[in-house]
Amino acid sequence: MSPLRNEIKQTQRKDAVPGEPTPTGPSASIAPAAPGVLIRKANRELWALPWAYFLGAQYIPPVKGEEKEIEQIQLTFANQLVTLKGRNLESLMDMNVLFQLGTLRELPEKFLETEEQDPAAAPVIISIEVAVREK
């Protein structure tokens, strides 16, 4: 079972506080039945995007051979296209299907060396781009 799937199970335990987000690492948290996702950039920009306007997601694996293998996830909402870049992002796709993502946080690369989380397990978002979606 994936670490993120375990986090989802943990939020469903009897001792979990309903509605309180559970961290899944430095870049994401889940909140049971979250009405939307809060996106936080390092420069303090914020977006609150409701799941009611979510259209779909695409995982883009890293290009092999590049020095820094960066993964991407594109989240498509009715009016916005959100692009996440980072490491270990594929595991977020399970949570995305379950509409459990509550918060996505950008963590600049310069802080990755000091991060205590195990980089092999936790998703780390190093860049978030929010653009107006062309229809």
pLDDT mean over 103-115: 72
* Amino acid (1-letter code) at residue 19: G
Number of domains in the chain: 1
Asked if residue 42 has pLDDT above 70, the reply is: yes
Asked if residue 14 has pLDDT above 50, the reply is: no
Q: How high is the pLDDT of residue 4?
A: 53
The whole-angstrom separation of Cα 24 and Cα 61 is: 21
Check pLDDT > 70 for residue 39.
yes
- CA dist 31 and 36 (Å) reads 9
61-81 residue pLDDT tens: 988 766 677 899 999 999 999
Asked whether the predicted pLDDT for residue 114 surpasses 50, the reply is no
Q: What are the residues facing 131 on neighbouring strands?
A: 81
pLDDT confidence of 129, banded at 50, 70, 90?
A: very high
Query: Rounded to an integer, what distance in angstroms lies between the CA atom of residue 42 and that of residue 89?
Result: 18
Q: Is the pLDDT assigned to residue 9 strictly greater than 70?
A: no
Pairing of strands 80-87, 28-30: unpaired
Sequence-ordered list of residues with C-beta below 8 angstroms from that of 50, at least 6 positions apart, any chain: 35, 36
Residue span of the structural domain in which 46 resides: 3-132
Strand 71-77 relative to strand 54-60: parallel, antiparallel, unpaired? antiparallel
